Structure 1
Amino acid sequence: MTSFKDLGLSEPLLQGVEALGFETPTDVQQATIPLLLEGETDLVALAQTGTGKTAAFGLPLLEKTDPASRKSQALILAPTRELCLQITAELQSYAKFIKGLSIVSVYGGASIQTQAKALKSGGQIIVATPGRMKDMISRRMADISAIEYCVLDEADEMLNMGFYEDLVDILSHTPADKSTWLFSATMPDPVARIAKDFMDKPKEVTVGTRNKGVASVHHEYYMVTGRDRYPALRRLADANPGLFSVIFCRTKRDTQKVAEKLIEDGYNAGALHGDLSQQQRDLVMNAFRKRQLQLLVATDVAARGIDVDDVTHVIHYQLPDETETYTHRSGRTGRAGKSGVSMVILTRSEQRRIRAIEKIIGRPFEQKKLPGGMEICEIQLYHLANKIRSTEINPSIDAYLPAIEDVLEGLDRDALIRKMVSVEFSRFYDFYSSTRDLNPAAASAEESADKGSTRFFINVGEMDGLDWMQLKDLLKAATGLGKDDIYKVETKDSFSFFNTDASLAPLVMESVNGVQFEGREVRVEISSDPQGSGQRPKGGKKYNKGGFGKKGGYPKKGGFSKKGGYPKKGKGPGGKKKKGGKKSGKRAGFY
Structure 2
Amino acid sequence: MTKFEALGLEKPLLDAVADMGFETPSEVQEKAIPILLESETDLVALAQTGTGKTAAFGFPLIQKLDSNSRTTQGLILSPTRELCLQITNEMQAYSKYIKGLNTVAIYGGASITEQARQIKRGAQIVVATPGRMKDMIGRGLVDITKIDYCILDEADEMLNMGFYEDIKDILSNTPKGKSTWLFSATMPKEVSKIAKKFMDNPVEITVGAKNAGTSTVDHEFYVVGGRDRYPALKRLADANPDIFSVVFCRTKRDTQRVAEKLIEDGYNAGALHGDLSQNQRDLVMNSFRKKQIQMLVATDVAARGIDVDDITHVINYQLPDEIEIYTHRSGRTGRAGKSGISMVIVTRSEMRKIKSIEKIIQQNFTQKTIPTGIEICETQLYHLANRIKETKVNKDVENYLPAINEVLEGIDREELIKKIVSVEFTRFSNYYNKTKDLNTGDSRESGRSRTTDNSRGGSDSSNNTGSVRYFINVGEKDGYDWMTLKDFLRDTLSLGQDDVYKVDAKESFSFFNTEAEHTDQILKFFTDFKLNGRFINVEISENPGGGGGGGYRGKKGKGNRRDKFNDGGGNSSDRSGRGKSRERKGSKAKSGNSGKRRSKQSRSDFF
Q: How does 1:10-159 map to 2 (within 5 A)?
A: 10-159=10-159
| Corresponding residue of 1:387 | 387
Deviation string, structure 1 residues 560-587 (Cα, Å, up to 9, x no partner): 9xxxxxxxxx965398799858977xx9
Q: Distance in 2 between matches of 1:89 and 1:233?
A: 35
| Corresponding residue of 2:413 | 413
Task: Please tell me whether the aligned partners of residues 489 and 496 of structure 1 are also in contact (alpha carbons under 8 angstroms).
Answer: no
Q: Distance in 2 between matches of 1:130 and 1:140?
A: 15
1:454 to 467, 470, 491: 467
1:557–1:320 distance in 2 versus 1, CA, 3 Å: farther
Aligned-pair distance for 1:468?
2.6
Q: Distance in 2 between matches of 1:523 and 1:259?
A: 31
1:540–1:19 distance in 2 versus 1, CA, 3 Å: same
Q: Distance in 1 between matches of 2:587 and 2:526?
A: 24
Identity of aligned residues (%): 58
1:474–1:119 distance in 2 versus 1, CA, 3 Å: closer
Task: Please tell me whether the aligned partners of residues 32 and 205 of structure 2 are also in contact (alpha carbons under 8 angstroms).
Answer: yes
1:487 to 483, 500, 503: 500
Q: Are residues 1:206 and 2:221 paired?
A: no
Aligned-pair distance for 1:66?
1.4
Q: Are residues 1:468 and 2:478 paired?
A: no
1:230–1:169 distance in 2 versus 1, CA, 3 Å: same
Aligned-pair distance for 1:472?
4.1
When the two structures are superposed, what TM-score results if normalisation uses the length of structure 1?
A: 0.89
Task: Please tell me whether the aligned partners of residues 309 and 333 of structure 2 are also in contact (alpha carbons under 8 angstroms).
Answer: yes
1:445–1:574 distance in 2 versus 1, CA, 3 Å: same
| Corresponding residue of 2:583 | 573
Letter in 2 for 1:468: W
Q: Distance in 2 between matches of 1:225 and 1:19?
A: 52
Q: Distance in 1 between matches of 2:12 and 2:393?
A: 45
Q: Distance in 1 between matches of 2:286 and 2:310?
A: 14
Aligned-pair distance for 1:224?
2.0
Letter in 2 for 1:286: N
Q: Are residues 1:323 and 2:338 paired?
A: no
**CA-based RMSD:** 3.3
Q: Distance in 2 between matches of 1:425 and 1:521?
A: 47
1:224–1:540 distance in 2 versus 1, CA, 3 Å: farther
Aligned-pair distance for 1:8?
0.4
Q: How does 1:173-572 map to 2 (within 5 A)?
A: 173-447=173-447, 453-458=466-471, 460=473, 462=475, 464-465=477-478, 466-472=480-486, 482=495, 486-493=499-506, 496-506=510-520, 508=522, 522=537, 524-527=539-542, 529=544, 542-543=555-556, 545-548=558-561, 550=563, 572=582
Task: Please tell me whether the aligned partners of residues 558 and 574 of structure 1 are also in contact (alpha carbons under 8 angstroms).
Answer: no
Q: Are residues 1:9 and 2:22 paired?
A: no
1:550–1:498 distance in 2 versus 1, CA, 3 Å: closer
| Secondary structure at the counterpart of residue 320 of structure 2 | coil
Task: Please tell me whether the aligned partners of residues 557 and 577 of structure 1 are also in contact (alpha carbons under 8 angstroms).
Answer: no
Task: Please tell me whether the aligned partners of residues 539 and 560 of structure 2 are also in contact (alpha carbons under 8 angstroms).
Answer: no
Task: Please tell me whether the aligned partners of residues 472 and 486 of structure 1 are also in contact (alpha carbons under 8 angstroms).
Answer: no
Q: Distance in 2 between matches of 1:282 and 1:20?
A: 25
1:368–1:219 distance in 2 versus 1, CA, 3 Å: same
Task: Please tell me whether the aligned partners of residues 555 and 580 of structure 1 are also in contact (alpha carbons under 8 angstroms).
Answer: no
Q: Distance in 1 between matches of 2:384 and 2:147?
A: 58
| Corresponding residue of 1:566 | none
| Secondary structure at the counterpart of residue 271 of structure 1 | strand
Letter in 2 for 1:214: T
Deviation string, structure 1 residues 341-393 (Cα, Å, up to 9, x no partner): 00011222222111111110001111211111121111101110111112222
Of 543-552 and 326-335, the range deviating more from structure 2: 543-552
When the two structures are superposed, what TM-score results if normalisation uses the length of structure 2?
A: 0.87
1:588–1:485 distance in 2 versus 1, CA, 3 Å: farther
1:557–1:12 distance in 2 versus 1, CA, 3 Å: farther
1:469–1:258 distance in 2 versus 1, CA, 3 Å: same
Aligned-pair distance for 1:201?
1.1
Deviation string, structure 1 residues 207-266 (Cα, Å, up to 9, x no partner): 111111111111011122232221111111111011111111222232222222212211
Aligned-pair distance for 1:327?
0.6
1:575–1:426 distance in 2 versus 1, CA, 3 Å: closer
Q: Distance in 2 between matches of 1:305 and 1:463?
A: 42
Aligned-pair distance for 1:489?
3.5
Deviation string, structure 1 residues 136-178 (Cα, Å, up to 9, x no partner): 1111111111111100000111111111111111111111101
Where is the helix percentage greater, Structure 1 or Structure 2?
A: 2
| Secondary structure at the counterpart of residue 583 of structure 2 | coil
1:74–1:469 distance in 2 versus 1, CA, 3 Å: same
Letter in 2 for 1:493: K
Q: Distance in 2 between matches of 1:415 and 1:537?
A: 75
Letter in 2 for 1:81: R
Task: Please tell me whether the aligned partners of residues 67 and 99 of structure 1 are also in contact (alpha carbons under 8 angstroms).
Answer: yes
Of 390-399 and 299-308, the range deviating more from structure 2: 390-399
Aligned-pair distance for 1:527?
4.5
Q: Distance in 2 between matches of 1:500 and 1:252?
A: 24
Aligned-pair distance for 1:401?
1.6
Gaps of 5+ in 1: 561-569
Letter in 1 for 2:88: T
| Secondary structure at the counterpart of residue 491 of structure 1 | strand
Letter in 2 for 1:498: F
1:182–1:381 distance in 2 versus 1, CA, 3 Å: same
| Secondary structure at the counterpart of residue 351 of structure 2 | helix
| Secondary structure at the counterpart of residue 304 of structure 2 | helix
Q: Distance in 2 between matches of 1:271 and 1:523?
A: 34
Deviation string, structure 1 residues 399-436 (Cα, Å, up to 9, x no partner): 32222211211111111101111111111112111322
Q: Distance in 2 between matches of 1:459 and 1:527?
A: 13
Of 507-516 and 177-186, the range deviating more from structure 2: 507-516
1:71–1:509 distance in 2 versus 1, CA, 3 Å: closer
Deviation string, structure 1 residues 509-542 (Cα, Å, up to 9, x no partner): 566588799989956334454xx68789999982
| Secondary structure at the counterpart of residue 301 of structure 1 | helix
Of 374-383 and 398-407, the range deviating more from structure 2: 398-407
1:228–1:552 distance in 2 versus 1, CA, 3 Å: farther
| Secondary structure at the counterpart of residue 48 of structure 1 | coil
1:555–1:371 distance in 2 versus 1, CA, 3 Å: farther
| Corresponding residue of 1:565 | none
Q: Distance in 2 between matches of 1:54 and 1:312?
A: 23
Task: Please tell me whether the aligned partners of residues 107 and 129 of structure 1 are also in contact (alpha carbons under 8 angstroms).
Answer: yes
Gaps of 5+ in 2: 451-460, 601-607
Q: Distance in 2 between matches of 1:457 and 1:110?
A: 51
| Corresponding residue of 2:456 | none
Q: Distance in 1 between matches of 2:565 and 2:488?
A: 13
Q: Distance in 2 between matches of 1:407 and 1:485?
A: 59
Aligned-pair distance for 1:486?
4.6
